[in-house]
């Protein structure tokens, strides 16, 4: 079904230089959405831009029947999105694609790059804190992003987090992969790893996902990645959004990021064809 | 409710209405089923099938242009054997007529594909994509030479008893000549247009956007070209036409029918509005009703009167 969701909130977050926006939609999406899925949203009633825009679900409130998305203005489509006012209705397909596996025990390690932190937030929301320990590693360009995103003191919300920035303005200077390496090398989690009680979920730019996957696999830690690819239909009909995977016999296959993804098992993804 | 007769006869191919969905934009029919019941459509056309499985081109495969879409999927498909095993048996369940689109890179490919589908295969027609490069002849597309286009269609004709739709490439100087060639080859129906070869370059990276560099342009941007070609083909041949290329509203569909299309096919518009085929059918019906036409076929080719 094509849904008409009501825009409850659509506002800029923090520093204008970040171009970061939050949008809350009220309607049916929340009923069935799971963390990791996305929506395919029509930004304008015109032929330019022609296509819908895929956006990850970052928050799911089943009681209020609302989903939250965060987006960064990078082109015409996202710019038009900022002009949508509260109480207007938008045409949405979704929830679409696969979601993250939700662990019931052990530790879930979230590895986020830049704006990729948002889809992982919806995962934090649904985890049973009594049974599963959650740890977040975030890497980005600078402190301003985290300030704008309102995540600078996410630790107060009970999330254990380590951060790194390229300019060193927040956390350690460097890449999130360095945080990941030293965390996985740490003695404390050896036992968790050995029992298979440590799982990683990651979202961010493709190069980071590849590096994170390689590090996890070398530590024999299972990892789920959330991929991005340019999309047209969003429902598996056009084959525009594929990624490459290796099947169990080692044959190269395609998967549709919109249908068999966006969340895939990191170990099957072929990063460089 | 409606007094307008929507039944559409394309030579021997009989459809409940003139709305079809286009190859490559509609998967294998099931992807859009939750949005647009296939049973309401005249027919669906499945993704182009080749003799062997194809991985297609690397990504990016898509680039948006003003009112248009460039794609370079590269004919990714499961291949004939897997199609027959895993997809074909599910198609009758869709409760609509199914057109199978076939693509080859040699005459032998078309022979092989055509003989695999007969009137007892559970499908309504074969659509022959002749826009593929002929690898034995320097990679020139079959559909850009009247002789090779005719030869492909004649080969398919010899090897199947299903109705044949010849799908024309718009990347030619004289579309009427191509239409006459496929009519001579034995096509029952002509469909047009396939995508127009195009390109888009990212001025930041200074490289082509598509990994394959070039791709096929579709969407509203190509519509005037498609309308012109349907108009020309209608005057050149006696067989019925399925018009396509940028149709997104009922007004667009009416325009194609006035130009000479007996049925219309919806492609890129599905990506924007998965209900487009139904919306178009409803609008088309109202247009006929308001103007007092008893049957939708009465408007076909009317633009040629003046
Ligand atoms: C499953 C999925 C989930 C996403 N979730 C979010 C989200 O939660 N928040 C968010 O801000 N963005 C998200 N994105 C990306 C978002 O869809 C794009 O930023 C948006 O479509 C850009 O539209 P535009 O018209 O503003 O930019 P355009 O004018 O289309 O593009 C601007 C520039 O970015 C490039 N570009 C556009 N889309 C992509 C892409 N998918 N991959 C690589 N390069 C691209 C273009 O080539 C161009 O150079 C997601 C994408 C996918 C596939
Ligand atoms: C993503 C995509 C894939 C396509 N794949 C095929 C194909 O496999 N075989 C074919 O004959 N045409 C294919 N086409 C062409 C369409 O069937 C249609 O002829 C063309 O897109 C023009 O119509 P439209 O503007 O309504 O999309 C494809 C088009 C698109 C956009
Ligand atoms: S966007 Fe069409 S198949 Fe994924």
SS3 letters across A78-145: HHHHHCCCCCCEEEEEEEECCCCCCCCCEEEEEEEEHHHHHHHHHHHHHCCCCCEEEEEEEEECCHHH
Query: Is the residue at B1 inside a domain?
Result: no
> What pLDDT is recorded for position B306?
65
Query: Is the residue at B136 inside a domain?
Result: yes
> Domains of chain A, with CATH numbers?
2-96 (2.40.30.10), 106-228 (3.40.50.80), 229-273 (2.10.240.10)
Is some CB atom of chain B closer than 8 A to the CB atom of A53?
no
- In DSSP terms, which residues pair with B266 in a beta bridge? B21
Looking at beta carbons, which residues of chain B come within 8 Å of A252? 55
Query: Is the residue at B57 inside a domain?
Result: yes
> What pLDDT is recorded for position B1?
54
> What pLDDT is recorded for position B2?
60
> What pLDDT is recorded for position B78?
97
B27 vs A2, A91, A236: nearest CB: A236
The domain total for chain B is: 1
Answer for the pair B61, A28: CB distance below 8 angstroms, yes or no. no
For residues B104 and B113, give the distance between their C-alpha atoms in angstroms, rounded to a whole number.
8
The DSSP secondary structure of B94-157, one letter per residue, reads G-SEEEEEEE-SSHHHHHHHHHT--TTSS-SEEEEE--SB-GGGTT-BGGGSHHHHHHHHHHHH
Q: Of all atoms in ligand 3, which is nearest to the CA of residue A257?
A: 4
For residues A82 and A69, give the distance between their C-alpha atoms in angstroms, rounded to a whole number.
12
Supply the pTM of this predicted model. 0.96
Residue to substitute from B25, B31, B41, interface A, most A β-carbons within 10 A: B31
Looking at beta carbons, which residues of chain B come within 8 Å of A50? 64, 67-69, 219-220, 268, 272
> What pLDDT is recorded for position B95?
95
Query: Is the residue at B3 inside a domain?
Result: no
Average model confidence (pLDDT) across chain A: 94
Q: If you average pLDDT over residues A45-72, what whole number do you get? A: 96
> What pLDDT is recorded for position B241?
98
Query: Is the residue at B86 inside a domain?
Result: yes
Which residue of chain B has the CA closest to A243? B59
Is some CB atom of chain B closer than 8 A to the CB atom of A74?
no
Predicted complex ipTM: 0.96
Looking at beta carbons, which residues of chain A come within 8 Å of B222? none
Residue A80 confidence class, pLDDT cut points 50, 70, 90: very high
pLDDT more than 90, % of chain A: 87
Look at residue A187 and tell me whether its pLDDT is greater than 80.
Answer: no
* Residue B184, domain CATH: 3.20.20.70
Question: What is the helix, strand, coil percentage profile of chain B, to 5?
Answer: 35, 20, 40
Domain range holding B175? Answer: 8-305
């Amino acid at each position: 079904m094509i849904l008409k969701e009501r825009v409850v909130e659509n506002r800029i977050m923090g520093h204008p230089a970040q171009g970061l926006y939050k949008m809350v939609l009220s309607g049916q999406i929340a009923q069935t959405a799971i963390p990791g899925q996305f929506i395919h949203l029509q930004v304008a009633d015109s032929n330019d831009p022609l296509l819908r825009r895929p956006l990850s679900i970052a928050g799911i409130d089943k009681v209020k029947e609302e989903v939250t998305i965060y987006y960064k203005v990078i082109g015409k489509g996202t710019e038009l999105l900022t002009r949508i006012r509260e109480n207007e209705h938008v045409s949405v397909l979704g929830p679409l694609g696969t979601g993250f596996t939700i662990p019931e025990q052990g530790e879930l390690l979230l590895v986020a790059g830049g704006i990729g932190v948002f889809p992982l937030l919806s995962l934090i929301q649904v985890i049973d804190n009594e049974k599963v320990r959650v740890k977040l590693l975030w890497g980005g360009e600078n402190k301003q992003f985290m300030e704008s995103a309102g995540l600078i003191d996410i630790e107060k919300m009970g999330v254990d987090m380590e951060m790194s920035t390229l300019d060193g303005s927040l956390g350690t200077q460097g890449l999130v992969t360095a945080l990941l390496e030293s965390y996985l090398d740490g003695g404390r989690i050896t036992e968790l790893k050995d029992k298979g009680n440590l799982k990683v979920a990651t979202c961010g730019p493709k190069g980071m996902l590849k590096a994170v996957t390689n590090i996890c696999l070398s530590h024999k830690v299972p990892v789920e990645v959330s991929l991005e690819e340019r999309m047209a239909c969003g429902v598996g009909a056009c084959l525009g959004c594929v990624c490459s995977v290796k099947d169990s016999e080692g044959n190269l296959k395609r998967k549709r990021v919109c249908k068999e993804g966006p969340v895939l098992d990191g170990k099957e993804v072929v990063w460089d064809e | 409710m409606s007094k307008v007769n929507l039944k559409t006869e394309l030579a021997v191919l009989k459809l409940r209405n003139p709305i079809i969905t286009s190859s490559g934009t509609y998967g294998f029919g099931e992807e859009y089923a939750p949005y647009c019941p296939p049973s309401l459509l005249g027919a669906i056309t499945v993704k182009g099938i080749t003799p062997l499985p194809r991985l297609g081109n690397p990504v990016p495969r898509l680039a948006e242009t003003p009112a248009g879409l460039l794609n370079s999927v590269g004919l990714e498909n499961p291949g004939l054997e897997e199609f027959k095993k895993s997809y074909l048996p599910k198609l009758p369940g869709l409760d609509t007529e199914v057109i199978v689109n076939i693509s080859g890179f040699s005459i032998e490919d078309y022979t092989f594909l055509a003989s695999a589908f007969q009137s007892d295969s559970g499908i309504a027609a074969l659509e022959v994509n002749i826009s593929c490069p002929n690898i034995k002849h320097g990679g020139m597309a079959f559909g850009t030479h009247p002789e090779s286009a005719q030869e492909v269609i004649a080969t398919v004709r010899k090897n199947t008893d299903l109705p044949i739709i010849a799908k024309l490439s718009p990347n030619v100087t004289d579309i009427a000549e191509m239409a006459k060639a496929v009519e001579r080859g034995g096509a029952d129906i002509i469909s047009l247009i396939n995508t127009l070869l195009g390109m888009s370059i990212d001025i930041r990276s200074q490289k082509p956007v598509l990994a394959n560099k070039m791709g096929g342009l579709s969407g509203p941007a190509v519509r005037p070209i498609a309308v012109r070609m349907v108009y020309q083909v209608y005057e050149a041949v006696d067989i019925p036409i399925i018009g396509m290329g940028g149709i997104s509203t009922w007004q667009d569909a009416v325009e194609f029918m006035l130009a000479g299309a007996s049925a219309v096919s919806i492609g890129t518009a599905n990506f924007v509005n998965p209900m487009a085929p139904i919306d178009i059918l409803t609008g088309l019906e109202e247009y006929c009703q308001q103007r007092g036409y008893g049957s939708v076929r009465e408007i076909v080719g009317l633009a040629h009167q003046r």
